[in-house]
Chains A and B, each alone.
Chain A
Amino acid sequence: MATDNKLSMVVFSGDMDKVMAAFIIATGAAASGMDVTMFFTFWGLKAIQKDSSLTGKGLFGRMLGLMNRGGIDTIGPSRFNFGGMGRWMMKTMMRSKNVASLRELRDMAIEMGVKIMPCQMSMDVLEIGTDKMLPQATAPVGVAAFIEEASHSKATMFI
């Protein structure tokens, strides 16, 4: 199969630091002229949800939606979050060093034409409706859609 100048990424993690790495790599690749596809699944979906998104239909789904509420600014680092203290500290440190925020990186990625694909199965399991996703995201897709993208890509990553 022909390989395009393309990068495909699975964003499984919903941690601030890992999502940040994903968007930094995505914007860097787009800046270098590559087509970039990001497939968001499971906890990663949080990074492409609307800000005011309370999700869930059943009891468990609504409990999960409540615990996991809010948009991209509410996600904490994978270590030392301490109920939000770590997130605040890390954001403050990053701002003082003039590193782009997670939201700015995501906006930049979208502006540069990075394709945002949400995973249908995770959305069903976590009870997150399509209306809770960013309008710039594609319609939800399955694994075959990602594999098709990945099979054309020069580089594939799982974060």
Chain B
Amino acid sequence: MADPIKPDQILDLKGLLCPMPVVKLSMAVKKLQAGQTIEGIATDPGVMADIPAWARTSGNELLSIEQQGKEYHFIVKKTA
């Protein structure tokens, strides 16, 4: 990443399985102000499909999602 985004909040989702990553993420996003960003760190490979789907359904913006070793890092911007 050329210009890494500094998220407003980091959310540890490691070890959690479906549906907890999206549940915890949605609860955390609810507390954010519009325009703020949150980085989630998960270990469940299912998030690669689930977080983009969650972003489309909930109307929030997924800025990035990538695998880093055994972890999955993603950044979401609250727009809904």
Q: Which residues of B contact A112 (CB under 8 A)?
A: 23, 27
* Complex: A69 Cα to B35 Cα, angstroms: 50
Q: Which residues of B contact A135 (CB under 8 A)?
A: none
* Complex: A51 Cα to B15 Cα, angstroms: 29
Tell me the residues in window 42-80 of chain B with beta carbons closer than 8 Å to chain A beta carbons. 53-54, 57-59, 80
* Residue pair B19, A31 in contact (C-beta under 8 Å): yes
In the complex, whether B20 has a CB less than 8 A from a CB of chain A is yes
- Nearest chain A CB to B50 CB, angstrom units: 8
| B contacts with A, residue count (CB < 8 A) | 17
* Residue pair B59, A24 in contact (C-beta under 8 Å): no
Q: Which residues of A contact B23 (CB under 8 A)?
A: 27-28, 30-31, 108, 112
Tell me the residues in window 107-127 of chain A with beta carbons closer than 8 Å to chain B beta carbons. 108, 112
Q: Which residues of B contact A100 (CB under 8 A)?
A: 17, 19-20
Q: Which residues of B contact A105 (CB under 8 A)?
A: 19
Please classify how large the interface on chain A is, using the bins under 10, 10 to 19, 20 to 34, 35 or more: 10 to 19
* Residue pair A32, B58 in contact (C-beta under 8 Å): yes
Contact A31 to B22, CB < 8 A, known contacts A98-B15, A98-B17, A99-B17:
yes
In the complex, whether A79 has a CB less than 8 A from a CB of chain B is no
* Complex: A27 Cα to B57 Cα, angstroms: 14
Q: Which residues of B contact A99 (CB under 8 A)?
A: 17
Could you tell me which B residues sit within 8 Å of A by CB distance? 15-20, 22-23, 25-27, 53-54, 57-59, 80
